[in-house]
Amino acid sequence: MRKTRQQNWTRYNPRMVKGQKVVCVDDKVEPEIARLYDKWISKGTTYVIRDVVLAQNRKGEWGEVGLLLQGIVNPTQSIAPFQERSFNSERFRPIEDKTITEAMEQERYAEKSS
């Protein structure tokens, strides 16, 4: 059975959070998509997540996990809800950060205790 995109997200992308450091692993972009952004990402570059948002895929369907990155501010979409254009989280991998890891573990423990 073939894995869906959501299953791939769960397996290969641990939860990403605001303030977390990530590295770009995929900066390929078609020219028609690049024109929608003022600044594009670069493979191998480390970024800090400014926010994690629900985003649209290339077909305009909602459900993609988008990242807004510190130091990069792009134009808003031309359709409602007019949010800033984000980058697909699948283009990034987390950089191990003990502080973030500990915070996420405490959050999981708190959820289990509830």
Q: What angle do CA 101, 23, 42 make, to 5 degrees?
A: 160
- DSSP secondary structure, 72-102, as one string: ---PBPSSTT-PBP-EEGGGEEEPP-HHHHH
Residue 9 pLDDT level (bands cut at 50, 70, 90): very low
Token representation of residue 23: 């590295």
Q: Is the pLDDT confidence value at 95 over 60? A: yes
Residue 84 pLDDT level (bands cut at 50, 70, 90): very high
Q: What domains does the chain contain, in order, with CATH numbers? A: 5-113 (2.30.30)
Confidence (pLDDT) at 41: 97
Q: What percent of the chain has pLDDT over 90?
A: 52
Taking alpha carbons only, the member of 48, 45, 50 closest to residue 23 is: 45
Q: What is each CA distance from 112 to 27, 100, 106, in whole angstroms?
A: 37, 19, 10
Which amino acid is located at 105 in the chain?
E
Phi/psi at 48 (5° precision): -115, 130
pLDDT digits (tens, 9 = 90+) for 33-45: 899 999 999 999 9
Count of beta carbons in the 10 Å neighbourhood of residue 109? 10
Is the Cβ–Cβ distance between 84 and 76 less than 8 Å? yes
pLDDT digits (tens, 9 = 90+) for 14-35: 578 999 999 999 999 999 989 9
**What is the reported pTM?**
0.71
